[in-house]
Structure 1
Amino acid sequence: MKNKALCLSAAMILLMASCKVNDKAQASASKAYEGKEMTDEYDGKINELVSKMTLEEKVGMLHGYSMFTNKGVERLGIPEVHMADGPLGIREELERMSWAPLHLETDYATYFPAGGGLSATWNPAMANLFGTSIGEEARAREKDVLLAPAFNIIRTPLGGRTFEYMTEDPFLNKSLVVPYVVGVQDQNVAACIKHYAANNQETNRGSVDVNMDERTLREVYLPAFEAAVKDAKAYSVMGAYNKFRGDYLCENKYMLQDILRDEWGFKGIVISDWDAVHSTKKALEAGTDLEMGTNAPSFDEFWLANPLIKAVKEGKVAEAEIDKHVKRTLKMLYTLKAMGDATDRVKGSINTEAHFKNAYAIASESVVLLKNSANMLPLQTEGVKSIAVIGANATAKHAQGGFGAGVKTKREVTPLDALKAKLPQSITINYAKGYETKFKPKANIKYGDVTVERAETINELDPKMVAEAVAAAKKSDVAILFVGANRDYETEASDRVDLKLPFGQEALISAVKAANPKTIVVFVAGSPYDLNQVEKENQTILWSWYNGSEGGNALADVILGKVNPSGKLPWTMPKRIEDSPAHATNSFPGGATEEYKEGILVGYRWFDTKNIAPLYPFGYGLSYTTFELANAKTDKESYTKDETITVTLDLKNTGKADGKEVVQLYVSKAESKVQRSAKELKGFAKTAVKVGNSEKVSIEVPVKELAYYDIATKSWVVEPGTYTFKLGTSSRDIKAEVSVTVE
């Protein structure tokens, strides 16, 4: 990769680590990152250790013996495997035998942007920075396994974990997951990639039986897992809650053995999601290595605890089978330098200014400018005497909340905090909360069983609070509304009921806009919402995420123009929920069984193939400047199946500010023997261009990326013929096309 739009040099990595992210270009694909294989150096020692272990000691290594460890063998120098949740940062320390926090003063951590924010950067270098930073924090807390990243495909906009997961596209997912995993594991911490696999809803997540055709599985739901295993060399995989084709994922031989180990060559350990194991012999022999979190009276009653010892003594399970799983765990511990004679295991660092800067770097590239038709952004403060700051999300903190894991942090800068610090002192800020984020508890809810909110949302506005907001807007030169959701509303273990904005915010936005035409609407959320009315009534809309310790500073810098927004939507925002594929086909949320009737047409693939207009398309995001794409061409006209296609173009900044643009490459093929979507993302490059300048952008597409999965031959097939590369700035904004022939 000689072109500067692709080359990731050591100097550039250093710049990234220092948060100096003004490089002319960043890596366009994950292939700039390569993981390290698990070590075979200690296999002889491992065999010797296992030969000295009792059956009870071996079994102790295969199940939880505290909330986040298995059992070590002290007499043989085998430590426990220490695990930590980490979607947003390293979780605070808990009591060994319960979910109760220890309330320590030593377990504060950096709050990093949620998966939605990271993926909106469209920048593999940011994913690597994220992985490196959170890996360092895990090591500082002496963890061996980070239970992250989570990157199941976003199949429905209503998914409770959409804020945490990454994207609706398999190529973008793997382009971010690989550098993330490499970053984590370079810190001597195993990344536990999750949730394997087809875990795309929270509704009935512990029991739903997912069914889809093999081509859909291979082309949409497995590519990021495959890349994480083959390219990043992930050391652990988390088995999901759901069933797949009749078998729970943690006892699914096809997924855990046939694909994961036999096809992909996975050498690490499979860790169950907490309480996702339902059998002893079947789970073990299918490939589960470590059972965690099972709801049993004691740790000894887990499926892979006393019941496994009993099964061995009764001759139902061979002790050699147990040895195989123990050896995998020992291999991982030696690879991580938790065992052996290595003295250079990474020490790590946590809650540092360097990590806060890294969190800022990611957040500042994630903010998406949805609309700016009145050119109110960036906000010009000259002559402005007062600004109304309105909305609960101006002061809300999102590091904690919801059903899933959060992070205890000493720093979470809110938008109001940041604006107070960054606006000229001569400007008066008139704050009004505007709405309450209230819930009314529902009775008899079992999370993960049904599509519900954690509680019934109270959508009626308080007239007094609305009056205060309107008054603040009227007496101010400009109004900035901070609305959206929070991590109680978007939460693990519960999918949303619909796309409606909660808490009566739609009416509040209308009232504030009527009171002050100069209103900027800022969303802080992780999932799509119905913004039809908001989009119609407002000229200026900005989208941010649960964006970490420095999220407020990043957002304020975008509003004030210190940072030119370069974020792109990692999913499609529909006009109606009925337009989204899983809902258009009436196949969500399903019941006992969930049939993925939309097949390969997930996300933008459905919208573009069915010619359904979204509110905002996949890959969409505006800038404070304008760009022009020109001179698109390929290095050749015809290619064989083993070659790589290089597409180049000139990207010119034709506006009035320096900025970054994400050039996206989509592939189409007419006259195919199989169903294809109208276009599929197969490359992208994020490039910085100064005002008036032009940069050469180069995107490499291996011909094998054009393959489809042939069910009959159980293999990937590159179909000969003409392929059209569509280059643009979203799935719907195509600026140039170039065609090639594959022989």
Structure 2
Amino acid sequence: MDINKIVKKMTLEEKVSLMSGKNFWETQEITKHQIPSMFLADGPHGVRKQAAAADHLGLNESLKATCFPPAVSLANTWNKELVTKIGTTLGEEAKAHRVNILLGPGTNIKRNPLCGRNFEYYSEDPYLAGQIAAAQIVGIQKNDVSACVKHYAVNNQEERRMVIDSVVDQRALREIYLTPFEMAVKQGEVKTVMSAYNKVNGVFANENEFLLKTILREQWGFNGIIVTDWGGNNDRVLALKAGNDLEMPGNAGETDLEILKAVQSGEIEEEILDEAVKRLLEVTLKTNSNITGSPDSFSVEKNHQVAYQAATEAIVLLKNDNVLPLKKGKKVAIVGDFAANPRYQGAGSSIVNPTKLESTLDVIAEYEFDFIGYAKGFKRYGKKSKNLISKAKKLSAKAEVILLYLGLDEITEVEGLDRPNMKLPENQLFLLEELSKLNVPLVVVLSTGSQIELPFIDKISALVHGHLLGQAGAKALLDVIVGKVNPSGKLSETIPIKYEDVSTAKYFPGKEKTVEYRESIYVGYRYFEKNQIGVRYPFGFGLSYTNFLYSDLTITSQGVSFKLTNAGKVEGKEVVQFYVGMKDSKIFRPVKELKGFAKINLKPEQTKQVNIAFDDYTFRFWNQETGKYEVETGKYQIYINSSLNKNELLDEIEVMGTLEKIVSLQTVLPNYYSGKINNVSDEEFEKILGYPIPNPHRKYVKRNRIVVGYNTTVAELRYAKGWTGRFFAWAMRVAPKLLKVIGKKQLANTIYMGMYHQPMRGISRMTNGMISWSQLEGLLIMFNGKFFKGLTKFRKEARIKRKKNKMKKKEAKISG
């Protein structure tokens, strides 16, 4: 079909109708022009297609699909080929479920370990995050299903995520936060991008022309569609001007009418609308043509095995005092609720309904050690239980090895809420302490979607970190523990000794209106290494049951080459890591940065030549003076490492840059050059920011009261002038507490995360016309202290809406 011809035939009203969804998951169709609807579904680690009741928080059940390891674990594989295979399988299942756009992957940077959605993101490092994201996108789109990279951009927390202003300097923006998206676009050739909820330097991401048009479309060459996050539209006309193509979910055409009026009045050119329609049709027609007639089923077992393979390579062995692999016949006690009820995925919009979920207890009979029994040990939600601990100790005393399954529960790590701390629950720590007194080798098996403090590390014999392993994780863990699989995962993020050591601990999650990224480029290992701060486990770390030797490093203008040998007695896979540093730089830099990696499989005594090419990202830095990427002339250190802190091979290379001279700013930015970012002054931050630091506080009128507006959150209604607003905020605080009292903790968290930080505009945008924009205006009047005036308007607009709906139904009946 000729898209240009279709658009020419369409009326203005028809074109405008395509700019928002038909309902929660589908786009509008226009039968007259043979334009079908598209179905969008969550899917970072599995297809979450809701066939009945719809929501974006994981409340209602979805169709069965393979649950693969989430991004937190996929990144630990460091295996691009494997991730592409997973993406291909995801795409096949999406096609079988008739999904046009799979809403993933998420490639936001793990700026802070407390971000509640870190399980859905890859890494603290932009290069690793971007490479893994691009690999997954390539796989998904092999099936002519569109991937959708998200959340663009600088969305690194859940607290106040709908309205918070991320205040970040251009260098950090480009080098840290945008690089993964750049790779997704340039290497992955992603067809859809989801804009973030938050503001970036004062402008909502979805109407940020600098982000959407200048960088994404013009500089990176992106020609696909940009979709809002669900309910993420603030000003529809500004968003369309900035480059947004589709608002989701549907809102009964209210914002379509805003666009219609804007075009008719000349506020926006019709050509801008036409381009958005063309981009939307390009993806719609291509994905539908390939979905139509394709198989509507998939092999559950085959895809389960792909999930298993991914899980085996994602497991990170962090400690092993010669306890693992377990030998045949060993008396083994298994303790911990996670062995019976695995924690295998995160919570929120990414919840997958797995096709074949396995627990450790389900598969334990397949193994040749002497399984002497299972004890729950602790309550998943709640305080320590003397009875459960007593039973666990009694069982464990009879064992030769204890496998202790610990982790974070489903309500601790969830979309919409950040974690309060980096600790395991007290009841689990107490159980570990008690078991460690038995003098029986203690192997801890961890299931968490983000990093935790490990104060108990000296009291255990081994630590196997699975993070979140998807539906096939239980067998993968046991296969690593008994040595059937040699562990090959390595950490995609640093595990600090304590939370206070983290570079962003002082600045996260910001203040009332803004979050200041004062640390600039010093995120994760870049900060720890610059300041020589000890960590529990460094970025890129992971043990194996074999040993690898590195030798014969050669550096050319094209890249690096060296030999890797398996010096052990078992086959294994090694993640080789290529870092670049510049000791004598005139700009502030980390000690070194990841610029390449490869995963190499070797049999015992086998040697392979490893080649890693330089690319566009190897030596570049963002020059705020010239407004482009540059290369500094000078001598660079080349590190070939097995982890960040273990240099296997080291040499230098002289590089001719793009600038003749760079002026050092060390005298005006002393804390950035030293890396002491906790000491950064307002003057230093403003210097790299390029504009005055925004006021981070909300504006009060008399007596701690605010004027409630469209972007006032439910949480902020406690400061409303009107009693109705304060009552509404109180009810939203009390309801989750009551649900927790009656044991509905997950539901309580879901309600809290879905509503508490929701701005007022979301009451209209997220209800598909149930509450119109005009009705919302009535609510705001009430919340601002004029109860009867607001109530009158609300009821009047409700009557008008009912009349309009009746007329629409009547017209539809006549035309039908």
Residue 746 of structure 2 corresponds to none
Per-residue deviation, residues 321-349 of structure 1 (Å, max 9, x unmatched):
3222111101112333x25xx79975475
Query: Structure 2 CA distance, aligned partners of 1:539 and 1:619?
Result: 21
User: In the alignment, is residue 79 of structure 1 matched against residue 36 of structure 2?
Assistant: yes
Q: Assess if the C-alpha contact under 8 Å between 1:168 and 1:570 holds in 2.
A: yes
Larger deviation, residues 229-238 vs 698-707: 698-707
The Cα of 1:108 is off from its aligned counterpart by 1.2
579, 590, 595: which one aligns with 1:666: 579
Query: Structure 2 CA distance, aligned partners of 1:99 and 1:721?
Result: 50
The Cα of 1:482 is off from its aligned counterpart by 0.5
Larger deviation, residues 51-60 vs 713-722: 51-60
Residue 313 of structure 2 corresponds to 365
State the one-letter code of the partner of 2:518.
K
The structure number with the bigger radius of gyration is 2
Per-residue deviation, residues 442-462 of structure 1 (Å, max 9, x unmatched):
xxxxxxxxxxxxxxxx3x201
The Cα of 1:693 is off from its aligned counterpart by 2.5
Change (3 A) 1:147 1:378: same
Change (3 A) 1:704 1:205: closer
- SS of residue matched to 2:362: helix
- SS of residue matched to 1:431: strand
Per-residue deviation, residues 704-727 of structure 1 (Å, max 9, x unmatched):
521111111112111121111111
State the one-letter code of the partner of 2:318.
L
State the one-letter code of the partner of 1:394.
A
Larger deviation, residues 74-83 vs 404-413: 404-413
Query: Structure 2 CA distance, aligned partners of 1:465 and 1:60?
Result: 59
When the two chains are superposed, the root-mean-square deviation of aligned CA atoms in Å is 2.1
Change (3 A) 1:503 1:346: farther
Q: Assess if the C-alpha contact under 8 Å between 2:120 and 2:346 holds in 1.
A: no
The Cα of 1:102 is off from its aligned counterpart by 12
The Cα of 1:628 is off from its aligned counterpart by 1.6
Query: Structure 1 CA distance, aligned partners of 2:248 and 2:564?
Result: 50
215, 231, 252: which one aligns with 1:299: 252
211, 226, 231: which one aligns with 1:275: 231
Query: Structure 1 CA distance, aligned partners of 2:16 and 2:426?
Result: 50
Residue 187 of structure 1 corresponds to 143
User: In the alignment, is residue 537 of structure 1 matched against residue 459 of structure 2?
Assistant: yes
The Cα of 1:503 is off from its aligned counterpart by 5.0
621, 638, 653: which one aligns with 2:542: 621
Query: Structure 2 CA distance, aligned partners of 1:165 and 1:84?
Result: 18
Q: Assess if the C-alpha contact under 8 Å between 1:187 and 1:346 holds in 2.
A: no
Larger deviation, residues 537-546 vs 141-150: 537-546
The Cα of 1:204 is off from its aligned counterpart by 1.0
User: In the alignment, is residue 317 of structure 1 matched against residue 268 of structure 2?
Assistant: yes
User: In the alignment, is residue 502 of structure 1 matched against residue 425 of structure 2?
Assistant: yes
Change (3 A) 1:628 1:70: same
Residue 181 of structure 2 corresponds to 225
- SS of residue matched to 1:633: strand
434, 439, 442: which one aligns with 2:377: 434
The Cα of 1:94 is off from its aligned counterpart by 3.6
Query: Structure 1 CA distance, aligned partners of 2:60 and 2:614?
Result: 50
State the one-letter code of the partner of 2:391.
E
User: In the alignment, is residue 395 of structure 1 matched against residue 344 of structure 2?
Assistant: no
Query: Structure 1 CA distance, aligned partners of 2:299 and 2:481?
Result: 27
Normalising by the residue count of structure 2, what TM-score does the alignment of the two structures yield?
0.78
- Kindly, what percent of the aligned residue pairs are identical? 37
State the one-letter code of the partner of 1:412.
L
Per-residue deviation, residues 407-430 of structure 1 (Å, max 9, x unmatched):
112311112222233335xx2331
- SS of residue matched to 2:495: coil
Larger helix proportion of the pair:
2
Query: Structure 2 CA distance, aligned partners of 1:109 and 1:217?
Result: 36
State the one-letter code of the partner of 1:83.
L
* Gap regions ≥5 residues in structure 2: 657-816
User: In the alignment, is residue 416 of structure 1 matched against residue 361 of structure 2?
Assistant: yes
Query: Structure 2 CA distance, aligned partners of 1:602 and 1:248?
Result: 23
Q: Assess if the C-alpha contact under 8 Å between 1:567 and 1:621 holds in 2.
A: yes
Q: Assess if the C-alpha contact under 8 Å between 2:635 and 2:653 holds in 1.
A: yes
Larger deviation, residues 484-493 vs 520-529: 484-493
Query: Structure 1 CA distance, aligned partners of 2:97 and 2:647?
Result: 47
User: In the alignment, is residue 588 of structure 1 matched against residue 509 of structure 2?
Assistant: yes
- SS of residue matched to 1:370: strand
Q: Assess if the C-alpha contact under 8 Å between 2:493 and 2:538 holds in 1.
A: yes
Query: Structure 2 CA distance, aligned partners of 1:387 and 1:186?
Result: 45
Change (3 A) 1:283 1:100: closer
The Cα of 1:579 is off from its aligned counterpart by 1.0
Per-residue deviation, residues 603-622 of structure 1 (Å, max 9, x unmatched):
10111111111100000000
Q: Assess if the C-alpha contact under 8 Å between 2:56 and 2:230 holds in 1.
A: no
Query: Structure 2 CA distance, aligned partners of 1:418 and 1:69?
Result: 40
State the one-letter code of the partner of 1:229.
V
Query: Structure 2 CA distance, aligned partners of 1:163 and 1:343?
Result: 30
* Gap regions ≥5 residues in structure 1: 1-41, 439-457
The Cα of 1:474 is off from its aligned counterpart by 0.7
- SS of residue matched to 2:377: coil
- SS of residue matched to 2:355: coil
Q: Assess if the C-alpha contact under 8 Å between 1:473 and 1:516 holds in 2.
A: no
Normalising by the residue count of structure 1, what TM-score does the alignment of the two structures yield?
0.85
260, 278, 282: which one aligns with 1:327: 278
Query: Structure 2 CA distance, aligned partners of 1:737 and 1:97?
Result: 54
State the one-letter code of the partner of 2:155.
N
Q: Assess if the C-alpha contact under 8 Å between 1:461 and 1:504 holds in 2.
A: yes
Residue 446 of structure 2 corresponds to 523
Query: Structure 2 CA distance, aligned partners of 1:166 and 1:280?
Result: 31
Residue 132 of structure 1 corresponds to 88
Q: Assess if the C-alpha contact under 8 Å between 1:399 and 1:406 holds in 2.
A: no
- SS of residue matched to 1:380: coil
Residue 548 of structure 1 corresponds to 470
Query: Structure 1 CA distance, aligned partners of 2:491 and 2:120?
Result: 14
Query: Structure 2 CA distance, aligned partners of 1:545 and 1:350?
Result: 27
Query: Structure 2 CA distance, aligned partners of 1:590 and 1:517?
Result: 48
Larger deviation, residues 68-77 vs 394-403: 394-403
Q: Assess if the C-alpha contact under 8 Å between 2:344 and 2:473 holds in 1.
A: no
Q: Assess if the C-alpha contact under 8 Å between 2:196 and 2:232 holds in 1.
A: yes
Change (3 A) 1:371 1:97: closer
The Cα of 1:124 is off from its aligned counterpart by 0.4
State the one-letter code of the partner of 2:36.
P
- SS of residue matched to 2:324: coil
185, 199, 202: which one aligns with 2:155: 199
Query: Structure 1 CA distance, aligned partners of 2:133 and 2:57?
Result: 31
Residue 380 of structure 1 corresponds to 327
Change (3 A) 1:715 1:126: same
Q: Assess if the C-alpha contact under 8 Å between 1:572 and 1:614 holds in 2.
A: yes
Change (3 A) 1:102 1:546: closer
Per-residue deviation, residues 662-686 of structure 1 (Å, max 9, x unmatched):
1111111121111111010011111
Q: Assess if the C-alpha contact under 8 Å between 1:234 and 1:268 holds in 2.
A: yes
Query: Structure 1 CA distance, aligned partners of 2:617 and 2:258?
Result: 46
Change (3 A) 1:517 1:98: closer
Query: Structure 2 CA distance, aligned partners of 1:197 and 1:86?
Result: 19
State the one-letter code of the partner of 1:511.
E
647, 653, 675: which one aligns with 1:740: 653
- SS of residue matched to 1:192: strand
User: In the alignment, is residue 601 of structure 1 matched against residue 522 of structure 2?
Assistant: yes
Residue 302 of structure 2 corresponds to 354
- SS of residue matched to 2:144: coil
5, 8, 11: which one aligns with 1:54: 11
Q: Assess if the C-alpha contact under 8 Å between 2:237 and 2:259 holds in 1.
A: yes
Residue 493 of structure 2 corresponds to 571
State the one-letter code of the partner of 2:463.
I
How many aligned positions are there? 656
Q: Assess if the C-alpha contact under 8 Å between 2:58 and 2:348 holds in 1.
A: no
Change (3 A) 1:149 1:262: same
State the one-letter code of the partner of 2:519.
E
